[in-house]
Amino acid sequence: MGNPMKKVYVLILFVLSSISLTAETLTLDKCIELGLKNSFTIFDQEIKLKKSKQSLLSTYYDFIPNISSNVKYNEMHNSLDNISKTAELSISEYIYSNDSRYFNIRRNTSALKQNRINYQLKKRQFIIQVLNYYLNVLQEQKLVEIKKKNLALSEKQLAMTELLYNLNKIAKLDLDRAKLDVSTTKLGILMQKKKLESTKLDLLQLIGLDLHTEYTLDTLTYRFTEYKKTQYTPGLSITFEKEQLFQDKLNYWQRKLELYPTLALSISKRFTWDLEETKYFSDYDDTWNFSAEVSYPILSLFTRNPEVKNAKYQYISQQRNLENLLSSENIKFQKALLDYQNSKEQLALLKEQVKLEKMHLEFIEQKYKLGMIDIIKLEEARNKYIDAQYNEIDGYYKLIKLNEELNLISDEKILGKY
CATH code of 141's domain: 1.20.1600.10
Q: Does residue 256 sit within a domain?
A: yes
Global confidence as pTM: 0.83
| Range in 10-24, 56-70, 262-276, 291-305 with the lowest mean pLDDT | 10-24
Could you tell me the CA-to-CA distances from 109 to 60, 225, 315 in Å, in that order? Answer: 10, 37, 18
3-state secondary structure of 32: helix
Residue 173: which of 399, 376, 417, 413 has the closest Cα?
Answer: 376
Q: Does residue 277 sit within a domain?
A: no
Q: Let me know how many helices (H) and strands (E) the chain has, helices first.
A: 9, 6
How many alpha carbons lie under 13 Å from residue 379 in its C-beta half-sphere?
Answer: 15
Q: Does residue 404 sit within a domain?
A: yes
**Number of domains, the chain:** 1
- Centroid of chain to Cα 106: 28
pLDDT exceeds 80 at position 280: no
Give the per-residue pLDDT at 71: 66
Q: How high does pLDDT run on average in the chain?
A: 87
Q: Decide: 366 and 372 in contact? Cβ < 8 Å.
A: no
Provide CB contacts within 8 A for 334, sequence distance 6+.
Answer: 230, 232
Residue 338: which of 265, 402, 255, 248 has the closest Cα?
Answer: 402
Give the per-residue pLDDT at 150: 94
Q: Does residue 381 sit within a domain?
A: yes
Give the per-residue pLDDT at 3: 56
Q: Does residue 23 sit within a domain?
A: no
Helices 305-369 & 375-409, crossing angle to 10 degrees?
150
Q: Which of 107-111, 288-292, 293-297 has the highest mean pLDDT?
A: 107-111
DSSP single-letter state for residue 195: H
Give the per-residue pLDDT at 21: 44
Helix H or strand E segment including 293: strand 285-295
What average pLDDT does range 207-228 have in this prediction? 89
The rounded distance, in Å, linking the Cα atoms of 318 and 310 is 12
Q: Does residue 76 sit within a domain?
A: no
Q: Give the pLDDT band of residue 6 (cuts 50, 70, 90).
A: low
Q: Give the pLDDT band of residue 1 (cuts 50, 70, 90).
A: very low
**Domain residues for 346?**
30-64+99-260+300-416
Q: Does residue 333 sit within a domain?
A: yes
Q: Does residue 87 sit within a domain?
A: no
Residue 205: which of 139, 130, 128, 122 has the closest Cα?
Answer: 130
How large is the C-alpha radius of gyration of the chain? 38
The rounded distance, in Å, linking the Cα atoms of 332 and 411 is 13
The rounded distance, in Å, linking the Cα atoms of 369 and 372 is 8
The rounded distance, in Å, linking the Cα atoms of 201 and 210 is 9
What average pLDDT does range 220-244 have in this prediction? 90
Provide CB contacts within 8 A for 396, sequence distance 6+.
Answer: 347
What average pLDDT does range 290-308 have in this prediction? 83
Q: Give the pLDDT band of residue 236 (cuts 50, 70, 90).
A: very high
The rounded distance, in Å, linking the Cα atoms of 28 and 336 is 24
